[in-house]
Structure 1
């Protein structure tokens, strides 16, 4: 076990936690999950199988009602006797119908809850074709259901699906030859009992899962289904074999030796995914319970290990600081365990070392450092006072000499330059009014006018309500400078600058337009890229830095527009909020 000595304490705790908690929980949950999911799947399949069996039985019970009714008429002597008579007069038949057949055909109800209609067809033209009695005429014999019955014509009832001449579904019916008294009664008789389709649909809709039910006739033809994708009412040959799939679980129930349902089947299908859903429920339960069983011990172990690991790491950090002569004490409350005692002893050792070093070295070093810093501060203060004052005094001396020599225009230019220079070097005042900013602009234009004379013309228009608005210092001047130097100066014949400052709602709108050389699309795109860039502001005050300052102060509220084409001049619009 010597290798354990080379493993960090924190990793040892996690190793114990994994082997003692995580691994047993995972193993237990895996076994539990396999057992539960198999039981859930088996139980679900059994439930569906019982549901399909119940649907099969209910459907058979409904057909049995028709069979029972057909058996009554099949064996009732009086009914067969009346139907076998040859009536000379219609009144005689009506009298016989009213005396016996009416009550039997219309009021006999023990088997009629799911029956829609019953008709007895007789090869006796002396009867009337009404009141559940039909004449077995040549037209009837040509109908599809009669020909279907002839294929298996017998005394046993036959359950069939009947279609109209166009091949569309008409009804599910039970057909039976009434020949019980054939040796004494020569008339051919046939009973046709129609079932209520709505009752069949209700029976087959009782599968309480997301599956499909099929009623299959002989040859596995789909006679009825709850599958909405199949139009079972049309005359198409829908075969169940074409729907079989590996993803479907099938529950098939046949009717065995029942003669009138021979070849008929009830089939239920359900997608395997529906069974898996039930398994997923148990999986989620196991996963959540496993998470709870892991999270609770994990929190407890983390709290305990943190009490040990964090304090030991802190002691190691402070010991490493001692190597660099950083004698910092550990700020922990008093603890009574072994780590707390170790921390206390470490702090006592640090106090003794600091006391010894302070007595011998620190005092002398601090005195020399303070003296050096004091002299450096004096030198910086002196230099900061000399440089600007020397420059301003020199400019003022030159301006005064120009006045003495009556060079008023030169003196005015020097004064304008001094004002701009003083403003650019005095950054303790970051915000100015539009009026003050306009003063800087006019100073610059005066200098440029002095430089270019008639080559430069400018026009300045300021709305009165905009003059008192507060803006960042020198936020407009760089655009005027850019228009003069980069727009007008390259022109041989000179040009003009149009400056407008106004208000739009809560925004100060600055517009500068020149008729200079203009810019191409690449240069315009570069200016727009300044709005997207995040570089730090440099030492110069240019368009780039103006935009960066605007973004820092106003965020997305600043609006910057550039309109320029080569040879057509440039127009720049800057909108900033009137309230900082």
Structure 2
């Protein structure tokens, strides 16, 4: 039971997903993840093989370095043993010489008849025997023992109870400091002398270093005694540079670590891995990786993408058509391709939409047309009734007051009443709600003349509507609303004289209506907010706004011009305000009623 509930929840969750998402989940879970897992296993196997190959290569380098050092060391140990056991050498260093000349003659004879040349003059090392025999003269391969007593190697050798010592040091040899590695042992084969003699075989350090460097190993090699680097192929100084120390962190990163025994000493060989195993594996197996990526990623992805598009694109087209459904019309799909179930569904929808459209056209639209005709007839009857009760008596009364003022020689009052009559006649005229800009300008002029009686010389105005601009039509009382706003809100708070400019002009493809005042102005934030409200004017905004007049005019312009109008405001506190209305000429010409007139005038 629980299993069925879980399955039903999963099915419900899948039903909430779009087809494109379902196909994406199927592609990831059934194609991409298994292929990635397979490729990861193959890559891991290749990486492991490459790692083992790299380890074997480093082990071979360690063996090669070990062989180089051990073979050289074995030769020196053999030479040392031969010198140690040579009776003629032991007798020579244990003899007593009466004078330097006696020593020289004996040394010359010794060199002629013994193996001295073979044993002592070896090219792989420098052989020196230090002895306490009386009469020995320092020089060549034989030195007096007291000459060695101040050396580090001799002090170390004397301090240890060893027959043979391997000693590495950076010390002065022949007036210069250099690296030295030596075998040292007692020459006590015949056990003569109080202190005996000491044999020292100094390695040819440069020869060994050269052999390691010239091998051109692919990895860095360190041969260390403790943490002191004896040999390296990375150029860690030469024979005349002190031994360096290998950091423990570097030693810990070695790919191969091998310890070799040199007599009683332990030397460590560190082989550092210089190769990026992952990079090497990729480089060596690049064709294989390319094939895996192509067949396991790109090819399945391309096929799944094509299948996805085959499903989703056509379903999206069907969804888009369904979203465009109106109350009185169903859109049909323009093109249908394929012969699968989705194509059948699309064709069936087109057939259904065609039948529904025919039904709507024959029944619904015909009934709607009859209703519109009935409404138009009722409006015409109502308009006829209104025209019959047009308040002519009001205009007659105003004319009587004007004539009475003229008789009384109250010309200013008569002029005011005349302008009021003009405004009232336009305001109550029945019929069309739209007038030409020329008529609107006359209304604006009458309004401003009335305002001059209020503001006196503080109000100056200029009206301009040249050429055919005056013949375009706009909603009644549009411009005068912005002019009234300029007078009331712009001039009332300013004591100085103010100008009001009302301009109509053409700018390229636009009809420009401007109302500008030099009054009090407003802040930038308030100006930007008002411009936004006018451009977004609607019944809802009009209900919530305090500036009903300007928004009402803006909304009526938008309704009249089918939204093809833009409003701009520019204002600065203490300087004034400019309201600009932009109407595309194409939209204005559609609404124009051909009339004659136009022009402009200025009054101060």
Task: Find the aligned partners of 1:246 and 1:196 in 2 and give their Cα distance.
Answer: 23
Match of 2:168?
161
Question: 5 Å matches for 1:423-572?
Answer: 452=496, 540-543=569-572
Contact 2:55 2:256 in 1 (8 A): no
Change (3 A) 1:78 1:10: same
Q: Whose radius of gyration is greater, 1 or 2?
A: 2
2:223, 2:432 → 1: CA distance?
102
Q: 1:358 aligns with which of 339, 356, 361?
A: 361
- Shift in CA distance, 187/35, structure 1 to aligned 2, threshold 3 Å: closer
Match of 1:567 in 2: none
Q: CA deviation at 1:206?
A: 6.8
Who is 1:392 aligned against? 445
Deviation at 1:300, TM superposition (A): 0.6
Q: Tell me the TM-score normalized by structure 2.
A: 0.53
Would you say the 8 A contact 1:122–1:134 is kept in 2? yes
Deviations 1:227-272 (CA, angstroms, capped at 9, x unpaired): 99x9998799x7x9x937996467443345xxx5223222426589
Give 2:270's match in structure 1, choosing from 263, 268, 271.
Answer: 268
Quote the offset at 1:175 in angstroms: 1.6
Distance 1:247 1:330 in 2: 72
Q: CA 1:191–1:540 in structure 2 vs 1: closer, same or farther (change >3 Å)? A: closer
Give the Å deviation of 1:160: 0.9
Between Structure 1 and Structure 2, how many residues are aligned? Answer: 433
State the distance in 1 between where 2:444 and 2:253 align.
95
Residues in 2 aligned to 1:540 and 1:320: alpha-carbon distance in whole angstroms: 38
Task: Pick closer, same or farther for the CA change 1:279–1:224 going to 2, 3 Å.
Answer: same
Aligned residue in 1 for 2:72: 62
Contiguous gaps of at least 5 residues in structure 1: 402-409, 429-446, 457-472, 487-522, 550-580
Counterpart secondary structure, 1:540: strand
1:418 aligned to 2:462? yes
State the Cα deviation string for residues 496-532 of structure 1 (Å, max 9, x = none): xxxxxxxxxxxxxxxxxxxxxxxxxxx9xx99xx99x
Match of 1:173 among 149, 166, 182: 182
Listed one character per residue, the Cα deviations across residues 385-431 of structure 1 (whole Å, up to 9, x for unaligned) are: 533332136657999x9xxxxxxxx78x76x5326999xx99x9xxx
**Contact 1:215 1:222 (C-alpha < 8 Å) held by counterparts:** yes
Matches of 2:260 and 2:51, distance apart in 1: 27
Please tell me whether residue 224 in structure 1 is matched to residue 230 in structure 2: yes
Distance 1:301 1:313, change over 3 A: same
Report the RMSD for the aligned CA atoms in angstroms.
6.0
Q: Tell me, in whole angstroms, the C-alpha distance in 2 between the residues paired with 1:328 and 1:540.
A: 42
SS in 1 for 2:461: helix
Give TM-score scaled by structure 1 length. Answer: 0.55
**Structure 1 residue 243 and structure 2 residue 248: aligned?**
yes
Aligned to 2:352: 349
Q: Please state if 1:254 is matched with 2:259.
A: yes
Structure 1 position 56, deviation (Å): 2.0
Match of 1:329 in 2: 332
Q: For 1:139-176, what per-residue CA distance to the aligned partner results, in whole angstroms no more than 9, with x for missing partners? A: 422422112223457665x32123549xx974211223
CA drift at 1:105:
7.7
Q: What is the alpha-carbon distance in structure 2 between the residues aligned to residue 286 and residue 330 of structure 1?
A: 47
Q: Which residue of 1 aligns with 2:543?
A: none
Taking the aligned partners of 1:62 and 1:383, their CA distance within structure 2 comes to 116
Give the 3-state SS of the residue equivalent to 2:185 in structure 1.
strand
Contact 2:62 2:256 in 1 (8 A): yes
Question: SS at 1:308's partner residue?
Answer: helix
Aligned-pair distance for 1:303? 0.7
